[in-house]
Structure 1
Amino acid sequence: MKPISENNSQNNQNRGEKQPNPLILALVLTGILAWEIYPALIHTAAANAGAIKQSLVQVENQDEQTAQQFPAVGDQKKISYSGLVLNSLISEPGNLAEGARQNPPNQFPATVAAAVRQELSQLTGIAADKFKVTESSRQSWPNTCLGLAKSDEICGQMIVEGWRVVVSDGRQTWVYRTNARGNVLRLEKKVS
C-alpha cells in the first residue's frame, strides 16, 4: 500500500509542474489585448479632448452674450477656460490630442512605412531606401495575426486596426499587412 500512495503524490506533483498558473496566464493574455487596443484608446482620448475644448468655447460664448445683456456691477476678471484647455490638451509636446492631430486616422503614418521598408530590406537584402510605398489603405484585420495565421500559430480573436501596404522597388511588388503602429507586420504576397 505504501508504494502506491508515494506514486500518486509524485504524479500530482508532476501535473502541477506542467500546468501554467491560471492567474499569470490571464494577466499575460490581458496585457496582450490591452497592447493591441492602445491606439484606439489614444484616438478616443484625443477626440474627447477636442470635444471638451469645443464645449467650453460654446459655454464662453453663451457667457459673453449673457454679460452683454446684463452688465455686471463691477469689472470682473474673465478667465478663458477654452484657452486653458487648448494649452493643456493640445499644445504640449507628446500630448494625446497633438499626436492625433499630426497624424489623422486616414493618413498613412511614416513610421509604418519605415517599418515595412526595414522588414522588406531584411527579407530581400535590398537597401530600405530603394523601396517605395505605392499604395496604402486602412484595414480592419480579423485577429492579431492580421488574418494570415500560420498552421501552428494561435492568434488573438479580436479586430485589429491597421494598414494594407503595397511596396515596390521598381521591378518587384510586395503586399504587407500591419497593425496601426506598424510593430506587427505580415507579408501577404509577392505580386511580381
Structure 2
Amino acid sequence: MKTIKATNSEKQTLQNSVIQPRLILQAIAFTLILSFSADYLSPNNKGMINQSTQANSQLSAAIGHIVLQHASQHTRVPSSKLDLVDVQPHTWSDNCLGLAEEKASCKPMPVSGWQVAVANGQRRWIYRTDASGSVVKLERSNLEPNN
C-alpha cells in the first residue's frame, strides 16, 4: 500500500473548498437573523391605533389601554366605543406635562411621553402621558367636536 502525500497546492485547494461553503452558510444565517430581527422590532399596534397613525408612533398597547380607560372614565363612554385617532411622541417641559394646575408644583425637566387624541365619532379629546403611562392628563382647552 502506497501513502499519497498531498502537495501544498492541493492542501490549499482542499482548505479553500471547505472554508468557502462555511462562509456562505454564515452569510445566509446572518441575513436570516437580521431579517427576523427587523420583523420582530417593527411596531405592531393593530387594533389600537388607526393605520395612518401607526406608522408615526410606537405607542405600546398598555399605554393605549390606559389612555382609553381614562377617556372612558372622563366621558362615561365605554372604552370599546372610543378610538385612538392620533398619537404623537412628545417631550414635555415639566413633570406636569405642560399642564400646570393650581396648587401643583411642577418641576421643570424634560419628560418624554405621548400626545394622544381619542374620539368617539362625535367628540375628540387630547391626552398627554409620560413615557410609561403612569401620568395621564386631559388637555381641557382642546375639547373639540370631531370634524
TM range, normalised to the smaller chain? Answer: 0.5 to 0.7
Equivalent position of 1:148 in the other structure: 99
Q: Secondary structure at the match of 1:166?
A: strand
Shift of residue 101, structure 1, vs aligned partner: 2.6
> Aligned Cα RMSD in Å?
3.4
Structure holding more helix per residue: 1
Equivalent position of 1:159 in the other structure: 110
Q: Distance in 1 between matches of 2:135 and 2:40?
A: 20
Name the aligned partner's letter for residue 26 of structure 2.
Answer: S
Of the candidates 78, 83, 91, which is equivalent to residue 132 of structure 1? 83
Of the candidates 106, 122, 146, which is equivalent to residue 56 of structure 2? 106
Aligned length: 116
Shift of residue 108, structure 1, vs aligned partner: 4.7
Shift of residue 154, structure 1, vs aligned partner: 3.1
Q: 1:175 to 1:85 in 2, by over 3 A?
A: same
Could you list the per-position Cα deviations for residues 54-91 of structure 1 after superposition, in whole angstroms to 9, with x for gaps in the alignment? Answer: xxxxxxxxxxxxxxxxxx9213344738946974x985
Name the aligned partner's letter for residue 114 of structure 1.
Answer: H
Q: Secondary structure at the match of 1:182?
A: coil
Q: Distance in 2 between matches of 1:85 and 1:154?
A: 52
Q: Distance in 2 between matches of 1:188 and 1:83?
A: 50
TM-score, normalised by the number of residues in structure 2: 0.58
Could you list the per-position Cα deviations for residues 66-124 of structure 1 after superposition, in whole angstroms to 9, with x for gaps in the alignment? Answer: xxxxxx9213344738946974x9858xxxx8764336883252523322111111223
Structure 2 residues without counterparts, runs of 5 or longer: 1-10, 45-53
Equivalent position of 1:174 in the other structure: 125
Q: Secondary structure at the match of 1:102?
A: coil
Question: Percent identity of the aligned residues?
Answer: 29
Shift of residue 177, structure 1, vs aligned partner: 0.9
The 5-angstrom pairing of residues 42-61 of structure 1 reads none
1:188 to 2:129 alignment: no
Q: Distance in 2 between matches of 1:98 and 1:183?
A: 29
